[in-house]
Amino acid sequence: MRRDRASTDSGEIDMWSTTLDSLQLGGENIQNVEVGVVDSSFGDVDLILGADFLRTHRVLFAMSQLKLYVSYVGGDELGLRRGISPWLQQEADNGNGDALMMLASIHALGNGVPQNQAKADALVERAASAGHPRAMVFRGASLAKQGRNFEAISLLRQGLDGAPGERTGALWLYVARMRMGQAELARRELENLVVREKGDWPAPIAAYYLGKLTEEQLLTQARADGKRAVQQTCLARTHIAEQYAIAGDPARAEVLRAEVEGCSSQKAHQT
């Protein structure tokens, strides 16, 4: 079983890839199945069917019966990916933002191709240029982390209009606006985009930025979820460091950033 990382609103989560000899769904038995196993909190969910499965099946949601009917129409359902599907590459070459983001994920994870984060980042940048909202949020957050605040604000604002659920991007929009001296607008946007979603992560970080939680209260909430304690604490510390920088204490911010780098390194080397 191969270990990977996947990004969510709360930071990175553990994800593994493995191969099953067979997987039975109703009367259908699929051989040689590549699946991802995700450490997450989706609730009482055992299996999520992705685009690769749905592309090869007709699906009927029989709501009155509380049943799902699937019928195989041909193609490779969940087989081992030995490269990038030609249809996906063609869609990406034609500028399809969703296809570009799928390719970016494949290259970032090394899923059937050599892992290549630089190529993944370039694909996200292309998708952002094509107006894909999630890509614009990801690219904008990356620019904010680099201190390219003016560019970051433009991309994050546009991306969040189309993908308001990308709330970690809203945190970086706040940071970028604060660095540009737009404090009143930064606080108003953060309140609208994050804080009103009662308690859902990363809302506590927004509450901390707005003075509604102390540093210690934020870290306590970050550690409260046993499954996500490590990644939530890392994300909380990242933004605590940003708050010190915004408040005019760059020395303390640099100390905390170094601690976050160690935290990320520790996660990456866990077995």
Return the amino acid letter for 216: E
Is residue 100 within 8 Å of 126, Cβ to Cβ?
A: yes
Res 270: pLDDT = 33
Res 152: pLDDT = 97
Beta bridge partners of 56: none
Tokens of 113: 């191709």
Contacts with 57 (C-beta within 8 Å, 6 or more apart), sequence order: 70, 71, 72, 73, 77
- Within 10 angstroms of residue 41's Cβ, the number of other Cβ atoms is 13
Res 40: pLDDT = 60
Exposure string over 208-234, b if 16+ CB within 10 A, otherwise e: bbeeebeeeebbebbeeeeebebbbbb
Using DSSP, state whether 270 is helix, strand or coil. coil
Res 6: pLDDT = 54
Q: How many residues are present in the chain?
A: 271
Res 24: pLDDT = 80
Q: Which residue is listed with tokens 């606006």?
A: 177
In 3D space, the residue among 261, 5, 1 whose CA is nearest the CA of residue 120 turns out to be 5
Using DSSP, state whether 28 is helix, strand or coil. strand
Domains of the chain: 2-80 (no CATH), 131-268 (1.25.40.10)
Res 26: pLDDT = 73
Tokens of 16: 């593994």
Res 10: pLDDT = 47
Contacts with 94 (C-beta within 8 Å, 6 or more apart), sequence order: none
Return the percent helix, strand and coil in the chain, to nearest 5: 55, 15, 30
Reading the chain (271 residues) residue by residue, the pLDDT tens digits are 566 555 554 455 567 777 778 878 777 777 777 777 776 655 566 777 776 777 677 888 888 888 888 887 766 655 545 578 788 899 999 999 999 999 999 899 887 788 999 999 999 999 999 999 999 999 999 999 999 999 999 999 999 999 988 889 999 999 999 999 999 999 999 998 876 655 688 999 999 999 999 999 999 999 998 778 888 999 999 999 999 999 999 999 999 998 887 664 444 333 2
Is residue 256 within 8 Å of 245, Cβ to Cβ?
A: no
Res 265: pLDDT = 42
Contacts 24+ apart (CB under 8 A), 145-150: 145/172, 147/179, 149/176, 149/177, 149/179, 149/180, 150/180
Helix or strand (DSSP H, E) at 69: strand 67-72
Res 205: pLDDT = 95
Res 182: pLDDT = 97
